[in-house]
Structures are given as C-alpha cells and as structure tokens.
C-alpha cells in the first residue's frame, strides 16, 4: 500500500450533499435546579462555516455543546440539524446524524492504542452484523481493512505516524488532544464540535492545532463549532463569533464587531473598563 | 387479626435489623463506592464472637457484648488495612470482586471454626422488656431490636451531621481528590468507615442471632438481602436504608406468613428487579448530573 | 511465501496482516501442533478419569469465556453465571425429553433460551451506569434457583431430569472418549467465536464501555444495547456450557447451580486473567484442578479412620481456598495467569538477555 500524502479520503465528498450541516438552535434554555445555565440562546451554523463560541467562565459554552451533543437535555427550545429536530435524541444517535465532538477534559480510552481509539470511532460506519463478525467472514476482513485505511489517512494528516501503536495513557497532554481530534475526524462528522481544543497546550502545539483546524475548514470545508478561551486564536481563524455571558447571548458577528462590542468588553474586563 | 399484628411486629423488628445491616453497607458505599459482598460474613462474625464470649468464655452479657463490638470494629479496620488498602487507585471492579473473595474466605474460616450447625444463645434478655398490649405479646428481642435500630439511626445521623470524622467521610464520598488536597486523611476515613460498618453489621448479627439462631449460612445470606434493601432505599441514603429495611422485612414476614415460607427468601429479590425497572435510583437516592 | 517465525520487527506490508489472531507463523505452527496433539493423541493416551477431568475443564472453559467477555471486556460483573449455567442445563434437558430435540440443535437452543432469560435481568439494569447489573444478576441467581426447584411441572423439582444419550447423525456417544471430541470441538469453536467478537467492532465497543462509557457514547455506541448484548453473549456461553454439562452428566438436579458456582466462575475469570480469552481457559484449568485435588484430599482423609473428623471439616476448605485464590490474584497479579504466562514466555524468548 503506497504511503499516503495529501488530503484524507473522507473529505472527498466536500461539495456533495453528504457534507451538508445546517444547524439551527432556537430559544435553548437549560437550568440545573434553579441555576440557569442557558437562557434563550439562538444561533445557527451553515455548511462549511467555522463558528466560534466565546465567553467568560461559566458563560454556558460547554452547556451549549453538551445540549448539542445530547449529554444534557434542554428544558426549552429546539435544535434543528439538516431539517430534522434533534433536540431529544441521545448522544449516540446524534453521532449517527453526523455531529462529532471532542471533550474539554480529554475523554480517550487510556488503555487502548491510538489506532484502536480511532478505529473505535469508525464503529458507526461499520456495516457488518454480529453474525458475520462471529465468523470473521472475508467481508468483515475487507471492511476492517478499509476502516484502517481511513484511520491511517487521518493519522498521516495529523502527523501521528510515530505514535499509532502507543497506548494513549502514555502520551503527553498536547498529543492526546490531537488524538482526540483525530478520533472525532474518524467519525466523519458533518458538524464537528470542539470543546476548548487549545486548553493547556504549549505554543508550538497550539500552532500545529491552528494549522490543522484552518486546513480542515478552509481546504475541505469542514463545518465546525469551536469553543475557545484564547482570543488571539479565535480572532484569527473564525469568520463569525458568538459571545455568551451568564447563559445568554451577548453578541454575534465578525471578529472585529465582537472585539469592539461594549457588552463583550464589559463581560470580559469588568464594569469600569469601558474604553 | 392477632396473626396479622404479630406478623407486623415481627416484620418491623426484622426490618430494623436489615436496615441496620444496610446502614453499614451504605457507609462503605458512600465513602468508597465499593459494593461490599462480604457484609453478611461480617454479620455472622459478630454473632459468633458474641456466642463464643457468652457460652465458651462464660462472660457476663454486657462484657461479652462490648468485647464482640470491639472485635467487629477491629475486624473492619484489619480488613481495610490488609486487603483494601493495596487496591486504592485500582479500578473499582477489582475491589468489588475482592469483597466477593473475602466473603468466601470468611465463610470458609467460620465454617472451619464453628461448623455449619445452628446454635442458640442462652436466654439472657430480661422478660420485663416484653410488651403486653391487648392480646398481643411482643417478645423482648423484638423490642430490643427496634430500640437498637432507632438508637443507631440517631447516632449515625448525628455522627455524619456534626462530628468532624463524619464530615470528613461525607467529603471523601463526594470527591476523594478534593478531600485529599484539603488535608482529609482519606485512608483513615476508609478505615473508619469499614470499622463502623463492621461494628453495625456485627450488632445486627447479634440481634438477628437472638431471633433466628446462629448459623453461618443463614447469617451470611442476610448480607445479600442488604442489596434489595439498599436498592429500595437508594444506594447512598442512610435513612433510606432503614426504610428499605422495614419494607423488605415486612414483605418477607407477610409472604412467609400468608403465602408460602419458601417464597419468603426470594421475595426481596423479585422486588429488587421491579424497583430497578420502575425507580432505579431507589426511593430516596439522588440522580447525579454528569459533567462532561 | 516465507514463514515468519521470529521477525525482529514489524515487516507487515498489508493491513490485512495486522488482523490475524497470531502475530507470527510461529504461533500458528504451535496452534496446529497443539490441536493435532489434542485431538490425535490425548484421548488415546489418557485414562477415563483424566478424560473426565479434561471434559469438565472444556465445559467450564466455555462458560468462563462467556463470563470473561462480560467482566473482562465490558467491565460488568455477573453474580448469576452459575444460575445461567443451570438454566442452560435445564433448557437442554427439557428440550431433549419433552420436545425431543436432537443434541446438535438442543445446544444452541439452550444457549439462546439462557440468553433470553439473562436479558430479563439485564434490561432493568442496563440503562443505569455503574454496577447495577451485578445487583440484578444477584437477584437473578436467587430467583432462578427458586424457579428451578419450585416449578415442578417443568423441572420436576428436586427429582431432577434424566437426559437421553447423545447422538450425532445417528452416532451414539457414550464413553468419555466420545465426549472428549464433543466437548473440545465445542471449546475450539466457542473460543474462535470469542476471539472474533473481541477483534471486531463489537469487542472494541465492549472495551470502550469498560474504559470510559461517556466517551463511548460520544463515539456513537449505544451503551445500553451493547451492555445488553455483552450480557446476552455471556449468558449464551453459560447456557451452551450448561447444556453440554447436562448431556455429559446424563441427569441433573437444581442442586449445583448455587451462588457458590457463580463465585467459582468469577474466581476462574480473575485467576485466569480478565480481558483475555485464553486466560479464561487457564482459570478453568486451575479451578477444576483445585476442585479435583481437594476432593482427592477429602477421599484420603475419609479413608483413614483417625482422620475422618478432619475429612469432614475439609469441605469448607474449598470455599476458603477459592477465596484466598481470588484475593491473592487481585492483590498481587490482577491480570491473572494469562499475564504470568506472558511474562514467562517473553523471558524465555529473550533469554539469556532478558533485560
């Protein structure tokens, strides 16, 4: 098998309807026993877009992502994805719908190798049934090889060739974040949701990650929602930003607009520091 | 009617004992999330120590009682020190299966020492403890078990609410790492929770022994009945344990009395399956919010 | 094609090569030799007692593999494996006597029935995270025990059921040697199936649930269904083994299928090695060997008059030894005999430069 260089095969269908990701969130509300985490948040994402969600700690960013990926159940509001109401679907059903995510505090399988972690993400794309698997029929073997190929392409793209057989538990933090991104990519998501992918990284690691994200978005039109604290990164790679504070949407717009929005500045810098 | 009331009284007092046994179980679960499958053996251990002290050593009842409770307390400490401590930080599944192994060890040891026969304690309870009320006679043991059950409920409640060790235990139960970083001696908390659990278990073992006689197999099977009790009451609720115990105790005695004695021992488990179907976190348990 | 006996690195050129069960041809060669020895030489070289022990080992191995899929791979504990083994035995006995199922059909049918009975207890607990399945199977153990004894019209209560002799395609199998082929052929088949489960998406999903159930859900794995599936597979293995056991024993009562038996199976999985298919077989060998040794000791003690009392008290010793074995392995070698074997093997391979 010749070595792979270039863009992973799963991105071949860039323009096809298969990659369509139209997300529409309206009036989303979530509270935990009286504490409001989200209040009437509305936003939308269109195919090929990179939307950044920013906000101070406790603004409800992660709560929003957890609602989108089915970990929390919103009390009010609807989430429409590609014309389908997905508000009350379970996490694993949402993954089938095409919403993949990474986690804020890495949630990998520490005992498994990088390769098995990523192969696991191919689970939803495995077609074979239990009966075939029990006998390990040639069709199962062929399919496993095909999935391995996809995973290897992603490994090449993310420059992880050297660590593919290492157990994830033995990797440094920055690499684990990268493995998690790779695993989410292996899901072949229509909409990729990234929860603070830069947190706790060194400068070099951040640069690599920005490169990957920018390439994914600009070259292959991967639709993404990015939650991030690091303003310089957010301002540089996103076209549109949503700012949250105390569970409510403060502002939405281009990076320049957000940067100069008095409400946002107030939320970040405090009451007195109005410029 | 008399039969009914007799069963009622019977059920309530057995229920208090189940509840007490379950309290010890819940304590271990709360502090270290371990399901203790050796709980019945701790019960039997207490009963047998007391038996040995009373009959073989011929000690007066109060002394024997104190010695057996101390013995159980120390036993809990030793178990934690010898078997549980090497496993701190290991996956929970190992710890739980360890308690399955411990149960087998203790059962084997007790069978070796005391054999599988049924023993009874000499009659030592003062007869004036019994209650005559209309045509109904409540024997002293039942009065005793109810009193002890209530006493321990109050004591443990106070312990958790006000004593510093009790507060440490609650903190460890909530978040082990955070408690550790605040200077709580987590290992001591584990040891103490095992010791107290063993003490409470031994206590209920002794009283159960007075009611039903002492037999290794019977008493250790009570330890498994703790599971329906705690599932009913909610795995993490001390008060729920007592109420769950009462419900199971009543259910058992009524089934035994009205339906069939052989069904008696299975009924708690049938209830357990239904509770898991209907209200899986128990009547008083909390549903946890998971953060991702 | 050249045989790959001891390659000094990974020279594989196709991804298919990494999907094989054995890394090298060396392992495959040993397997071929081992299997031909097992079926060609062992049944003729050993006496009836040894064959009996081997048959028991094969049957318990099948059940232990099933439990290992649940405990070792999915991270859920079943305390009802002994009872499920019993359900399989009774299912086979009832199918054989009342519906006149042939042997080859009765085995998988018993397995399926057991899997379904298992699901009844698995369904309420599967939705919950944590170890609720353990508690539900504990209830299952007691309820099944009760049903086996008290559903008189179906199970004939304490009198038990006598099974017809085994016949495969008109061939009657009566002696130990004949059974040897039946049990070990079943064991090889069930081991292969287990290995296949483990190396496909199902095995990966089980391991993912064991390691991190939240992330598994985030990868599109429906946890409830897969926990249930794992439990169903494990019960199927128990039922299959139980059916084999019933045919082998020719008559069954409800007596052996107690919580003690369930604990015995847990001991096998722990001692053999959680998360290792081969380990389950090592565990079954170990525990069966231990059982036979203890029985042999009891027999000796019983035959010496002076020690007859000691012989009587040796029965609880079994429980004690099991307990100690479980505790010992969990504390000192939690990955069991499979790990011990791996260490021994690799130290041989690297000898004399083992560091």
The neighbouring-strand residues paired with A245 are: A248
pLDDT at C9 over 80: no
Q: In the predicted model, what is the mean pLDDT of chain C?
A: 85
Distance from the B232 Cα atom to the nearest Cα atom in chain C, whole angstroms: 12
Q: Which residues contact A62 (CB under 8 A, 6 or more apart)?
A: A104, A195, A227, B292
Neighbours of chain A (3+ CB pairs under 8 A): B, C
- Residues C228 and C235: their CA atoms lie apart, in Å, by 10
- Optimal mutation site among C201, C207, C211, C228, interface A, most CBs of chain A within 10 A: C201
What are the CA-CA distances from residue A269 to residues A275, B186, C330 (Å)?
A: 10, 40, 54
pLDDT at C89 over 80: yes
Task: Report which of residues B46 and B92 the model is more confident about.
Answer: B46
| Predicted pLDDT at B263 | 84
Average pLDDT over residues B202-229: 85
Average pLDDT over residues B154-165: 83
Q: What residues make up the domain containing A66?
A: 9-269
- Which residues of B fall within a CB distance of 8 Å from C315? 111
A65 in any annotated domain: yes
> Nearest CA to C270 among C280, C261, C278, C260?
C280
Query: In the structure, what pLDDT confidence band is assigned to residue C187 with cuts at 50, 70 and 90?
Result: very high
For chains A and C, CB pairs below 8 A equal 97
- Which residues of B fall within a CB distance of 8 Å from A71? 290, 292
C285 in any annotated domain: yes
CB of A72 within 8 Å of any CB in chain C?
Answer: no
Tens digits of residue pLDDT in C271-291: 999 888 999 999 999 999 988
Distance from the C227 Cα atom to the nearest Cα atom in chain B, whole angstroms: 16
Tens digits of residue pLDDT in C306-328: 666 655 556 677 788 888 888 99
Cis check: omega of the bond before C352, within 30 degrees of 0: yes
| Predicted pLDDT at A2 | 43
Tens digits of residue pLDDT in A103-117: 888 888 887 889 888
| Residue bearing tokens 């985490």 | A37
Q: What residues make up the domain containing C315?
A: 46-350
Task: Report which of residues B127 and C173 the model is more confident about.
Answer: C173
- Residues B233 and A49: their CA atoms lie apart, in Å, by 51
Q: Given an 8 Å threshold on Cβ–Cβ distance, is C201 in contact with A91?
A: no
C290 in any annotated domain: yes
CB of C270 within 8 Å of any CB in chain B?
Answer: yes
Q: What is the residue-wise DSSP string for chain A?
A: -PPP-SS-GGGTTSSSGGG---EEEEEEEEEETTEEEEEEEEEEE-TT-EEEEE-STTSSHHHHHHHHTTSS--SEEEEEETTEE-TT--HHHHHHHTEEE--SS----TTSBHHHHHHHHGGGG----HHHHHHT-HHHHHHHHHHHHHHHHHHHHTT-GGGTTSBGGGS-HHHHHHHHHHHHHHT--SEEEEE-TTTT--HHHHHHHHHHHHHHHHHH--EEEEE-S-HHHHHHH-SEEEEEETTEEEEEE-HHHHHH-HHHHHHHH-SS---
pLDDT at C244 over 90: yes
| Residue bearing tokens 């594989």 | C12
Query: Percent of chain C, pLDDT > 70?
Result: 92
Distance from the C282 Cα atom to the nearest Cα atom in chain B, whole angstroms: 19
| Residue bearing tokens 């099948």 | C62
ipTM: 0.85
Q: Given an 8 Å threshold on Cβ–Cβ distance, is A123 in contact with C218?
A: no
CB of A196 within 8 Å of any CB in chain B?
Answer: no
For chains B and C, CB pairs below 8 A equal 130
Task: Report which of residues A9 and B215 the model is more confident about.
Answer: B215
Q: How many CA atoms lie within 13 A of A28 on its CB side?
A: 31
> Nearest CA to B118 among B14, B217, B244?
B217
- Residues A49 and A61: their CA atoms lie apart, in Å, by 18
- Which residues of C fall within a CB distance of 8 Å from A120? 204-205, 208, 216, 219, 221
Q: Given an 8 Å threshold on Cβ–Cβ distance, is B292 in contact with A32?
A: no
Q: Given an 8 Å threshold on Cβ–Cβ distance, is A145 in contact with C15?
A: yes
pLDDT at C161 over 80: yes
| Predicted pLDDT at A3 | 46
Give contacts of A 22-41 with C, CB under 8 A: none
Q: Given an 8 Å threshold on Cβ–Cβ distance, is A71 in contact with B292?
A: yes
Residue of C nearest to B224 (CA): C138
Q: Given an 8 Å threshold on Cβ–Cβ distance, is C320 in contact with B224?
A: no
Quick one: tokens of B100?
């399955």
**CATH number for position A236:** 3.40.50.300
A127 in any annotated domain: yes
Residue spans of chain A under pLDDT 50: 1-3, 273-275
Give contacts of A 121-140 with C, CB under 8 A: 121-124, 126, 128, 130, 133-136, 140
Choose the weakest-confidence range: A194-208, B159-173, C173-187, C224-238.
Answer: B159-173
pLDDT at C3 over 50: yes
Average pLDDT over residues C230-252: 93
Query: In the structure, what pLDDT confidence band is assigned to residue B127 with cuts at 50, 70 and 90?
Result: low
| Predicted pLDDT at B286 | 59
Neighbours of chain C (3+ CB pairs under 8 A): A, B
Task: Report which of residues B286 and B220 the model is more confident about.
Answer: B220
On whether the CB atoms of residues C305 and C285 are closer than 8 A, the answer is no
Q: Given an 8 Å threshold on Cβ–Cβ distance, is A103 in contact with B290?
A: no
pLDDT at C238 over 60: yes
Residue C284's CB is within 10 A of a number of other CB atoms, namely 28
On whether the CB atoms of residues B2 and B136 are closer than 8 A, the answer is yes
| Predicted pLDDT at A273 | 46
Query: In the structure, what pLDDT confidence band is assigned to residue C298 with cuts at 50, 70 and 90?
Result: confident
Query: In the structure, what pLDDT confidence band is assigned to residue C77 with cuts at 50, 70 and 90?
Result: confident
Q: Given an 8 Å threshold on Cβ–Cβ distance, is C196 in contact with A133?
A: yes
Give contacts of C 3-62 with B, CB under 8 A: none
pLDDT at C235 over 90: yes
Identify the three-state secondary structure at position B275. Answer: helix
Query: Percent of chain B, pLDDT > 90?
Result: 5
C116 in any annotated domain: yes
- Which residues of B fall within a CB distance of 8 Å from A107? 292
Domain total for chain A?
1
For chains A and B, CB pairs below 8 A equal 8
Q: Which of B102-111, B154-163, C343-352 has the highest mean pLDDT?
A: B102-111
C14 in any annotated domain: no
**CATH number for position C138:** 1.10.3470
| Predicted pLDDT at B91 | 80
Q: Given an 8 Å threshold on Cβ–Cβ distance, is C323 in contact with B101?
A: yes
C13 in any annotated domain: no
Beta strands in C272-317, from DSSP E residues, in sequence order: none
A4 in any annotated domain: no
Domain total for chain C?
1
A1 in any annotated domain: no
Residue of A nearest to C212 (CA): A109
| Predicted pLDDT at B241 | 84
């Amino acid at each position: 098998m010749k070595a792979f260089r270039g863009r992973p095969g799963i991105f071949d269908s860039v323009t096809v309807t298969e990659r369509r990701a139209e997300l529409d969130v309206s009036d989303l509300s979530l509270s935990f026993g009286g504490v409001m985490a989200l209040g009437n948040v509305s936003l939308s994402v269109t195919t090929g877009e990179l939307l950044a969600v920013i906000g101070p700690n406790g603004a409800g960013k992660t709560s929003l992502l957890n609602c989108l990926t089915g970990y929390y159940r919103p009390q009010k509001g609807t989430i429409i994805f590609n014309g389908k109401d997905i508000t009350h679907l379970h996490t694993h059903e949402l993954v089938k719908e095409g919403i993949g995510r990474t986690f804020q505090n890495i949630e990998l399988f520490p005992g498994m190798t990088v390769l098995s972690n990523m192969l696991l993400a191919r689970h939803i794309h495995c077609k074979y049934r239990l009966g075939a698997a029990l006998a390990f029929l040639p069709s199962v073997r062929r399919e496993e090889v095909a999935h391995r190929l996809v995973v290897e392409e992603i490994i090449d793209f993310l420059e992880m060739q050297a660590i593919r057989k290492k157990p994830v538990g033995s990797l440094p933090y920055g690499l684990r974040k990268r493995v998690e991104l790779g695993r989410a990519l292996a899901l072949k998501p229509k909409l990729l949701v990234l929860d603070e992918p830069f947190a706790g990284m060194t400068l070099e690691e951040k640069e690599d990650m920005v490169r990957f994200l920018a390439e994914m978005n600009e070259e292959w039109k991967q639709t993404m929602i990015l939650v991030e604290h690091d303003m310089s990164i957010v301002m540089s790679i996103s076209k549109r930003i949503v700012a949250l504070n105390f569970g409510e949407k403060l502002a939405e717009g281009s990076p320049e607009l957000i940067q100069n929005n008095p409400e946002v500045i107030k939320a970040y810098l405090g009451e007195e520091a109005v410029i | 009617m008399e039969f009914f009331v007799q069963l009622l009284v019977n059920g309530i007092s057995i229920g208090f004992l189940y509840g007490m046994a379950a309290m010890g179980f819940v304590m271990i679960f709360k502090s270290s999330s371990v399901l203790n499958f050796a709980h019945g053996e701790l019960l039997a251990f207490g009963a047998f120590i007391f038996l040995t002290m009373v009959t073989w050593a011929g000690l007066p009842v109060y002394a024997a009682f104190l010695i057996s409770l101390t013995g159980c307390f120390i036993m809990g400490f030793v178990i934690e020190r010898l078997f549980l401590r090497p496993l701190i930080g290991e996956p929970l599944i190992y710890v739980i299966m360890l308690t399955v192994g411990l149960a087998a060890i203790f059962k084997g040891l007790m069978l070796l020492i005391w054999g599988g026969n049924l023993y009874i304690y000499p009659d030592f309870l003062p007869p004036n403890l019994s209650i005559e009320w209309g045509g109904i006679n409540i024997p002293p043991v039942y009065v005793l078990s109810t009193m002890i059950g209530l006493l321990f409920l109050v004591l443990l409640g106070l312990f958790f609410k006000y004593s510093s060790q009790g507060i440490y235990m609650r903190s460890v139960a909530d978040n082990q790492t955070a408690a550790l970083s605040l200077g709580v001696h987590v290992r001591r908390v584990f040891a103490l929770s095992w010791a107290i659990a063993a003490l409470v278990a031994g206590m209920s073992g002794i009283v159960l022994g007075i009611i039903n006689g002492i037999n290794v197999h019977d008493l250790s099977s009570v330890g498994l009945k703790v599971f329906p009790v705690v599932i009913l009451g909610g795995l993490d609720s001390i008060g729920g344990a007592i109420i769950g115990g009462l419900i199971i105790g009543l259910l058992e005695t009524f089934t035994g009395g009205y339906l069939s004695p052989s069904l008696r021992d299975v009924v708690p488990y049938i209830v357990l399956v239904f509770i898991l179907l209907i209200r899986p976190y128990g009547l008083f348990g909390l549903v946890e919010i998971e953060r991702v | 094609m050249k045989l790959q006996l001891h390659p000094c690195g990974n020279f594989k050129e196709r991804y298919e090569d990494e999907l094989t069960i054995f890394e090298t041809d060396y392992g495959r060669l040993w397997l071929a030799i081992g299997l031909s020895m097992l079926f060609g030489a062992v049944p003729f070289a050993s006496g009836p007692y040894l064959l009996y022990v081997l048959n028991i080992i094969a049957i318990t191995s099948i059940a232990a593999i099933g439990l290992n899929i649940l405990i070792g791979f999915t991270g859920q504990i079943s305390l009802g494996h002994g009872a499920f083994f019993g359900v399989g035995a009774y299912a086979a006995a009832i199918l054989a006597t009342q519906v006149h199922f042939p042997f080859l059909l009765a085995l998988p049918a018993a397995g399926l029935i057991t899997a379904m009975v298992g699901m009844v207890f698995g369904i309420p607990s599967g939705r919950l995270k944590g170890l609720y399945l353990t508690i539900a199977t504990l209830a299952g153990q007691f309820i099944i025990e009760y049903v086996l004894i008290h559903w008189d019209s179906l199970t004939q209560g304490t009198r038990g059921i006598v099974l017809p002799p085994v016949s495969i395609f008109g061939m009657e199998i009566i002696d130990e040697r004949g059974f040897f082929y039946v049990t070990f052929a079943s064991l090889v088949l069930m081991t292969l199936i287990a290995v296949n489960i483990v190396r496909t998406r199902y095995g990966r999903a089980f391991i993912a649930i064991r390691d991190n159930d939240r992330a598994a859900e985030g990868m599109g794995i429906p946890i409830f269904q897969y926990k249930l599936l794992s439990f169903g597979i494990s019960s199927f293995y128990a039922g299959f083994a139980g059916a084999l056991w019933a045919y082998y024993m020719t008559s069954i009562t409800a007596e052996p299928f107690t919580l003690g038996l369930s604990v015995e199976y847990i001991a096998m999985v722990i001692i053999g090695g959680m998360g290792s298919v081969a380990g389950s077989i090592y565990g079954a060998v170990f525990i069966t060997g231990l059982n036979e040794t203890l029985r042999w000791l009891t027999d000796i003690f019983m035959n010496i008059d002076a020690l007859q009392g000691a012989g009587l008290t040796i029965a609880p010793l079994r429980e004690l030894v099991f307990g100690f074995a479980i505790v010992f392995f969990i504390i000192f070698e939690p990955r069991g005999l499979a790990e011990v074997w791996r260490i021994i093997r690799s130290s041989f391979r690297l000898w004399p430069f083992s560091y």
